């Protein structure tokens, strides 16, 4: 039943129990939340994977419009959950109501955006090379291509986006858009939020008349659950957002299968921000307050949180630092997602504080709350940053490190020393363009998204978005987990040569019954609705 939760495991249409139970914790109070949740384990993986395997042949062959309708229905049912979803998510994550309302809007907006895209051919991406019977020395047969779903997909819910990167988040939306059944491994920090959303998806699947195995939700606290899911031979791809250690462990399991499968793991990123000299000199205070706002947003618990600032010494940097310190001292501590995340944050901050090459610039106010994050800014010099790899490690939360550079060459050196990132940002004025032309080619090879005069928090769901990047930001720089391009991760191309029109998939038939955008003889033809 939508709108109520009972702590069960959702294996297709069935509610399953297990003897082992766990509870969610309210991080704002450390209180245990009811109800108890059944711990999913390998036996539930087997059940859900069997259902997904059975559902796949039907689901992958649905017209794109039917899958789009499913995504729209899921969005509608999530909205219909109303305040109780937001209230539960607040209790389980410590995130404020406004943030969660915004995240819900983004989640349903994303489902609808992908729906609209696949309705016009964005999943099929049909290509048609008509026969050339008169070609010499040999005629060309009729050759057509469409993309189909790769198979059942395992999605790991992230702790930091209980809606947008969790049960009905980007990975689930893109996998369903591709025609792949989804088994979500729900994050144990927000099992109630997960169950609300999982039941909404289940209901949408049932009302669409699709096989129940199109969706299952397995939530549990053990690593064996995730390992069993990735190892299951019926799973054909994995979407994961979380720690570097977690992503690498799943990648190893996937690579060691008799039939290896892709793991799309989004792991760690420190999202460098380069303050170019003219921009810094023009508006040091405004940059400082905007930076602190981006740093402290959501207690800094974003993959795209700006963790590294790179700037040149001088009076402007001094003004920036004074304004940033003031803003930090005025930033109220915010509850972090879990006691474990808060403890890891304190540990990360302590490591920076104890580092001989690092000094603390400013920190947010003290607090009695045990799981709160005090935003913190540290500083180091370019040589230390480039020679101490531990200074590049992500501290998940509102912690940043300023790298003070003597000159532009040192800023270039810092750019070159960076590992793979989700984002890289430059703040620049007109006079900075020549230097930006030096930095940009370096940053392009190190990040999936380059921003100018903005802040990396806030990831737009659109056609041109890349939420991805070179290792270790992700396990696969060829892909994005946000935007319409994310659907490609779960597709494979199939070619049809010489098939009679009646036997072709409808997306490739002569009269284009689904009215899709198609590429004919190498020329893109818009969907009839866009023509």
Query: Interface residues for a copy of itself in 344-383 (CB under 8 A)?
Result: none
Element (H, E) at 380: strand 376-381
* 1, 19, 57, 209: which one binds a copy of itself (CB under 8 A): 57
- Could you tell me the end-to-end alpha-carbon distance of the chain, in angstroms, rounded to an integer? 43
65 scored as a contact of a copy of itself (CB under 8 A): no
Peptide bond before residue 35 is cis, with ω within 30 degrees of 0: yes
- The enclosing H or E element of 216 equals strand 215-219
Given candidates 6, 17, 30, 61, which one binds a copy of itself under the rule CB under 8 A?
A: 61
Q: Is 521 in the site for a copy of itself (CB under 8 A)?
A: yes
Active site residue 47: no
Cβ(187)–Cβ(226) below 8 Å: no
> From the candidates 47, 92, 125, 266, which is the catalytic residue?
266
Asked if 239 interacts with a copy of itself (CB under 8 A), we say: no
Kindly state the tokens that stand for 408: 């532009």
Nearer to a copy of itself, 88 or 147 (CB): 147
**Is residue 475 at the binding interface for a copy of itself, with CB under 8 A as the rule?**
yes
Interacting positions 243-302 with a copy of itself (CB under 8 A): 251-252, 255, 259-260, 262
* Known catalytic membership, residue 125: no
Q: Which position among 8, 77, 88, 144 is part of the footprint of a copy of itself (CB under 8 A)? A: 144
Alpha carbons 493 and 480: distance in angstroms, whole number = 18
Q: Which of residues 103-122 bind a copy of itself (CB under 8 A)?
A: 116-117, 120, 122
Stretch binding a copy of itself (CB under 8 A), from 22-30, 159-167, 169-177, 484-492 = 484-492
Specify the DSSP class assigned to residue 132: B
Among 5, 51, 150, 303, which residue sits at the site for a copy of itself (rule: CB under 8 A)? 150
Q: How near is the Cβ of 75 to a copy of itself at its closest, in Å? A: 18
Q: Site for a copy of itself (CB under 8 A): which residue of 21, 31, 34, 141?
A: 141
Output 32 or 478, the one with its CB closest to a copy of itself.
Answer: 478
The residue written with tokens 């190498």 in the block is 522
- Within residues 384-423, the interface with a copy of itself by CB under 8 A covers none
Residue number with CB closer to a copy of itself (327 or 426): 426
**Strand (E) positions, 99-200?**
127-129, 143-149, 153-156, 182-186
Q: Which long-range contacts (CB under 8 A, 24 or more apart) does 84-88 make?
A: 84/3, 84/196, 85/163, 85/193, 85/196, 85/197, 88/5, 88/192, 88/193, 88/196
CA atoms within 13 A on the CB side of 139: 9
Among 90, 303, 399, 405, the active-site one is 303
Between 61 and 347, whose beta carbon lies closer to a copy of itself?
61
Q: Residues 172 to 191: which contact a copy of itself by CB under 8 A?
A: none
The contact mask relative to a copy of itself for 491-510 (x = CB under 8 A, - = no) is: xxxxxxxxxx-xx-------
Residues within window 431-470 making contact with a copy of itself, judged by CB under 8 A: 433, 436-437, 440-441, 444-445, 447-454, 458, 460, 462-466, 468, 470
* Rounded-to-integer distance, Cα 261 and Cα 291, Å: 39
Contact pick of 68, 128, 158, 270 for a copy of itself (by CB under 8 A): 128
Q: How far apart are CA 199 and CA 212, in angstroms?
A: 12
Nearer to a copy of itself, 126 or 192 (CB): 126
DSSP string covering 477-503, please? TT--SSSGGGGGGGEEEEEEES--GGG
The answer to whether the CB of 435 falls within 8 A of the CB of 469 is: no
CB atoms within 10 A of CB 374: 22
Enzyme catalytic residues: 266, 303
């Amino acid at each position: 039943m939508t709108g109520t939760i009972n702590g069960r495991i959702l294996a297709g249409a069935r509610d399953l129990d297990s003897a082992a139970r766990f509870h969610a914790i309210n991080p704002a109070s450390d209180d245990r939340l009811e109800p108890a949740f059944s711990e999913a384990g390998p036996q539930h993986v087997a059940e859900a994977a069997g259902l997904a395997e059975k559902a796949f042949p039907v689901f992958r062959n649905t017209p794109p419009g039917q899958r789009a309708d499913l995504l729209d229905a899921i969005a509608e049912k999530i909205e219909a959950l109303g305040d109780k979803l937001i209230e539960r998510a607040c209790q389980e994550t410590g995130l404020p109501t406004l943030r969660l309302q915004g995240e819900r809007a983004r989640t349903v907006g994303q489902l609808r955006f992908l729906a609209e895209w696949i309705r016009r051919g964005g999943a099929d991406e049909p290509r048609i090379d008509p026969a050339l019977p008169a070609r010499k020395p040999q005629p060309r047969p009729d050759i057509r291509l469409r993309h189909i779903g790769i198979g059942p997909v395992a999605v790991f819910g992230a702790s930091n986006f209980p809606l947008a990167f969790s049960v009905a988040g980007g990975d689930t939306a893109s996998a369903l858009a591709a025609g792949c059944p989804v088994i979500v491994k729900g994050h144990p920090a927000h099992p109630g939020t997960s169950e609300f959303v999982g039941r909404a998806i289940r209901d949408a699947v049932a009302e669409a008349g699709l096989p129940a195995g199109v969706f299952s939700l397995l939530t549990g606290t053990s690593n064996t659950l995730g390992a069993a899911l990735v190892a299951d031979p019926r799973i054909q791809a994995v979407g994961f957002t979380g720690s570097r250690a977690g992503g690498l462990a799943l990648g190893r399991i996937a690579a060691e299968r008799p039939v290896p499968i892709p793991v799309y793991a989004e792991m760690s990123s420190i999202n460098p921000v380069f303050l170019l000299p003219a921009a810094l000199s023009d508006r040091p205070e405004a940059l400082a307050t905007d930076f602190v706002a981006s740093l402290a947003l959501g207690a800094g618990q974003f993959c795209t949180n700006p963790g590294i600032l790179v700037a040149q010494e001088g009076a402007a940097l001094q003004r920036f630092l004074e304004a940033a310190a003031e803003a930090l001292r005025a930033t109220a501590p915010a509850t972090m997602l879990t006691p474990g995340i808060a403890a890891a944050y304190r540990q990360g901050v302590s490591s920076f504080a104890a580092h001989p090459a690092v000094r603390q610039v400013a920190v947010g106010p003290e607090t009695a709350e045990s799981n709160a994050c005090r935003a913190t800014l540290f500083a180091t010099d370019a040589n230390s940053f480039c020679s101490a790899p531990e200074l590049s490690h992500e501290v998940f939360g509102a912690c940043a490190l300023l790298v003070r550079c003597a000159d532009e060459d040192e800023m270039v050196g810092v750019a070159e020393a960076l590992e793979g990132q989700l984002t890289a940002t430059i703040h620049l004025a007109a006079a900075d363009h020549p230097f930006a032309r030096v930095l940009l080619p370096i940053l392009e090879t190190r990040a999936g998204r380059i921003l100018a005069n903005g802040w990396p928090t806030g990831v737009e769901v659109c056609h041109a978005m890349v939420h991805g990047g070179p290792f270790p930001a992700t396990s696969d720089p060829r892909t994005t987990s946000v935007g319409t391009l994310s659907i490609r991760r779960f597709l494979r191309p199939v070619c049809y040569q010489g098939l009679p029109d009646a036997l072709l998939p409808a997306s490739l038939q002569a009269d284009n019954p689904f009215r899709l955008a198609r590429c004919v003889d190498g020329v893109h033809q818009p969907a009839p609705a866009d023509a």
